[in-house]
Each structure stands twice: as structure tokens, then as C-alpha cells.
């Protein structure tokens, strides 16, 4: 479904939450307490709901005893990015719900897609544009087998494509990148896929620039040292690394607008027109741009009951997730539904969202 145009509100400073683990080591294990006698007594309404769910082939979740035996690894992102604290908060929320969990620091979207397909993570954050390319074997994934095993759990927050430079480069538009050294993100990362698509929409190829295949934190460090002219950053707002650049340097956020943006949004419906609001960084006016949603992937081979139960746990402890970052607070809530997700839902997730009135 084509995403609707989104006009962002000015966002406050980022609030981070300490997370439980990184690099795949360590876990926050919680053993759920046994059911009480009161919990064992089901009401007539509860029995009716269970009967209806059974008729649809999906139960309402797991028992506390079943939940305590399951381990959930959450694929996040680099420790310097937004995926890491928000993914860590998902791990904490599900631990509080009774699962054994860990949050794994990764290289973000590309690695998370692969980890889900390999069974190395149960849920993982990823940008929807890269996910859909993997699912359809197009773009960066052209020539590969379609990753039809990818399934979605829920919609997350919008990732804004931010193209930043410093005033001394003279770059004021995407077209000005020709002949420049540009940080495009790690090869085949979500950021690099964004950069390639956006440049293409403006008729620019990598032959027209000198691409630096670096994560945006490293690329911005290079820009501070005069070794890079502009950097693509794709994240929620605000991004701490970009904020830091704006404190010490005369930073410029380059607009993504005009005919190039129109072509991008028309060709790739998972992009939407947006603005980076004034005063998000050192910008005194709104800057035209685009965003693409992050989604939470889930392993296809998890049982429908467990996936349904994971969503129960997420929204029972949603305050933990909202407290992890301003982008999560503004954009992760059951009321947003799943209309913007193009990747097929896991059957357990589909049952959950139907039960909560967000699907026919």
C-alpha cells in the first residue's frame, strides 16, 4: 500500500535507555511465576474468546510456563545508532513479560535480514525498502533468490533520509554531489540502498561521485577531517551523530526535493515525502526530504501462538519501549496499526492485528 504523505512534528532531544546486551553475548533471563488459582479460573467471556481464537487456528498466546522456556534474540543495530536502544527496549519489555531475551548489536538492516533468514534472531529491526528488495530480489538483491521467508511483526518508526554536509563544501543540492566524495553507508546496508536509490532518482550514479562505503558515524568523522564532502544518514529524528556535527561545525542539511523526489516516491512506494522540522538540528527552517518506515521482522518458523504472544508482550510493556527514544515514543503504538507494511505479516501477527481491529 502506498504510504501517505507525512509531515513530521519537531522532535525533542533523544532519550536513551540502557540495554541488556550487545554482540549476541549475555541475556536478560526471566522465569515467569506460575499461574495463580485466580488466573486458572476463566470467565465465560474468556472461554468464548478462546473458542473463537481456536476456530481461527490461533490461540491467544502462550502460558507463563511455555513463555519462560522460549529465548528471543532481538536484532538491533550499531551501538551508536537508534536501532540499538529501541531494540534493547524490546528485549527488556519481552523479558519483563516472561521470555528469556537478549539484544544483539548488529550492522543493522542488511545483517538483520540475513540473521532472520538464518534463524540467528527471532525478531529484528529493518528498513522496509531494503526488506522489500530482498523479498522481491530486486535492487541491491537482484540476482539472488527472493527472500520469501521474511515476515513482518509490526510497524515501527519512520527513518528519515538525511543528507548532511558542512557549509565550506558549497553543496546545497543533491545535484551538487557530482564530483564529490560521499559517505553512502556500508556496502549493501540500508543506508547505502537509500543512497543508491536517491542518487538514481536524480540521474546520478556512483561513477559521478567517489563513494565512501562507511557507516555514517565513520563517514561523519571523515567529513570533520576534510576527507569526505557529504554523508547520507538514515535514522529517526534526531540523530545523535548529526546533532554532534551541528554543535561543532557549520552543518547543512541538504534538501531532497523537486523532480528527483517525485520520481523516487513514484518509483518506490515505500518512500514518502516529509520534512525535517526546523530546529531539529541547527536548521532554522523545515528541510524537504523523504522517509521510509522501519518494521520489525520475525522468524517465519516461529509458531503462530508465540508470535501472537510476542505482540501481547510488546504492547503490555509498551511504556518501556516508548521510554527508549523519542522516535519510539512518538511512533510505536498499537493505534498506528499495520496499513503501511508491504511485507506479508506472519500468520500469528495477522491474527493479533485482526483481533485488535486493524485488518478486515
pLDDT in tens, 124-164: 999 999 999 999 999 889 999 999 999 999 999 999 999 99
Is 293 within 8 Å of 343 (Cβ atoms)?
no
**Per-residue pLDDT tens for 96-108?**
999 999 999 998 8
301-349 pLDDT per residue, tens: 999 999 999 999 999 999 999 999 999 999 999 999 998 899 999 999 9
pLDDT in tens, 5-53: 333 333 333 333 333 333 333 333 333 333 333 333 333 334 434 434 4
The DSSP line for 186-222 is: STTSHHHHHHHHHHHHTT--GGGSEEE---HHHHHHH
Cα separation of 326 and 305, whole Å? 31
Side-chain half-sphere of 166: how many Cα atoms within 13 Å? Answer: 20
Confidence of residue 195 (pLDDT cuts 50, 70, 90): very high
Sequence ranges of the domains in the chain = 37-157+295-355, 159-293
The answer on pLDDT for 237 being more than 70 is yes
Cα–Cα distance, 74 to 70 (Å, whole number): 13
Q: What local confidence, expressed as pLDDT, does residue 58 receive?
A: 61
Q: Domain 159-293 carries which CATH code?
A: 3.40.190.10
Pairwise CA distance, residues 1 & 249, whole Å: 40
> What does the DSSP 8-state code read for residue 25?
B
Closest to 332 (Cα-Cα) out of 85, 166, 61: 85
Task: Please tell me the predicted confidence (pLDDT) of residue 8.
Answer: 35
Give the model's pLDDT for residue 107: 86
3 state DSSP class of 6: coil
| Separation of alpha carbons 20 and 274, rounded Å | 34
pLDDT score recorded for residue 360 = 63
- What's the rounded Cα separation, in Å, for the pair 48 and 14? 44
- What pLDDT shows up at residue 43? 37
pLDDT in tens, 173-191: 999 999 999 999 988 788 9
Using alpha carbons, select from 240, 245, 296 the residue that is nearest to residue 11. Answer: 240
> Which element (helix H / strand E) includes 46?
helix 44-56
Q: Which of 14-18, 243-247, 283-287 has the lowest mean pLDDT?
A: 14-18
Average pLDDT, the chain: 85
Sign of the C-alpha dihedral computed for residues 99, 103, 104 and 106 taken in this order: positive
Identify the CATH class of 37-157+295-355.
alpha beta
3 state SS of 280? coil
Q: In CATH terms, are 37-157+295-355 and 159-293 the same topology?
A: yes
Residue 286, Cβ density class (10 Å: 0-12 exposed, 13-18 middle, ≥19 buried): middle
**115 contacts 106 by C-beta, under 8 angstroms:** yes
Q: Measure CA of the first residue to CA of the last residue in the chain; give whole Å.
A: 15
Pairwise CA distance, residues 302 & 311, whole Å: 13
What pLDDT is attached to residue 269? 83
Residues 72-102: b if buried by 16+ CB within 10 A, e if exposed: bbbbbbbeebbbbbbbbbbbbbbbebbbbbb
Q: Tens of pLDDT along 205-228?
A: 999 999 999 989 899 999 999 999
The count of other CB atoms within 10 Å of the CB of residue 124 is 30
Which residues, other chains included, contact 92 with Cβ-Cβ below 8 Å and sequence gap of 6+?
17, 19, 20, 28, 101, 103, 317, 320
Amino acid at each position: 500500500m502506498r504510504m501517505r504523505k507525512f509531515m513530521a512534528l519537531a522532535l525533542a532531544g533523544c532519550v536513551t535507555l540502557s540495554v541488556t546486551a550487545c554482540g549476541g553475548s549475555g541475556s536478560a533471563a526471566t522465569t515467569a511465576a506460575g499461574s495463580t488459582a485466580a488466573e486458572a479460573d476463566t470467565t465465560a467471556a474468556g472461554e468464548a474468546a478462546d473458542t473463537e481464537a481456536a476456530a481461527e487456528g490461533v490461540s491467544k498466546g502462550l502460558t507463563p510456563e511455555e513463555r519462560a522456556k522460549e529465548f528471543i534474540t532481538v536484532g538491533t543495530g550499531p551501538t551508536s545508532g537508534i536501532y540499538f536502544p529501541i531494540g534493547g527496549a524490546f528485549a527488556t519489555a519481552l523479558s519483563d513479560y516472561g521470555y528469556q531475551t537478549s539484544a544483539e548489536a548488529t550492522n543493522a538492516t542488511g545483517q538483520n535480514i540475513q540473521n532472520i533468514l538464518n534463524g540467528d534472531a527471532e525478531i529484528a529491526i529493518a528498513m522496509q525498502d531494503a526488506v522489500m528488495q530482498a523479498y522481491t530480489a530486486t535492487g541491491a538483491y537482484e540476482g539472488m533468490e527472493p527472500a520469501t521467508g521474511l515476515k513482518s511483526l509490526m510497524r515501527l518508526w519512520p527513518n528519515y533520509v538525511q543528507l548532511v554536509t558542512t557549509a565550506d563544501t558549497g553543496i546545497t543540492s543533491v545535484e551538487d554531489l557530482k564530483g564529490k566524495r560521499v559517505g553512502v553507508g556500508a556496502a549493501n546496508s540500508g543506508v547505502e540502498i537509500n543512497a543508491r536509490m536517491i542518487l538514481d532518482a536524480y540521474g546520478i550514479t556512483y561513477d559521478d561521485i567517489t563513494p565512501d562505503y562507511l557507516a555514517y558515524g565513520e563517514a561523519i568523522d571523515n567529513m570533520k577531517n576534510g576527507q569526505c564532502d557529504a554523508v547520507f544518514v538514515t535514522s529517526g529524528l534526531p540523530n545523535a551523530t548529526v546533532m554532534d556535527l551541528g554543535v561543532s561545525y557549520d552543518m547543512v542539511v541538504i534538501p531532497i526535493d523537486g523532480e528527483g523526489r517525485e520520481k523516487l516516491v513514484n518509483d518506490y512506494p515505500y518512500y514518502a515525502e516529509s520534512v525535517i522540522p526546523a530546529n531539529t538540528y541547527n536548521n532554522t527552517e523545515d528541510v524537504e526530504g523523504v522517509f521510509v518506515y522501519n518494521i520489525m521482522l520475525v522468524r517465519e518458523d516461529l509458531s503462530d501462538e508465540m508470535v501472537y504472544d510476542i505482540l501481547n508482550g510488546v504492547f503490555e510493556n509498551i511504556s518501556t519501549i516508548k521510554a527508549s527514544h523519542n522516535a519510539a515514543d512518538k511512533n510505536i503504538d498499537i493505534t498506528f496499526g499495520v496499513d503501511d507494511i508491504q511485507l506479508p505479516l506472519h500468520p500469528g501477527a495477522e491474527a493479533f492485528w485482526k483481533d485488535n481491529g486493524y485488518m478486515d
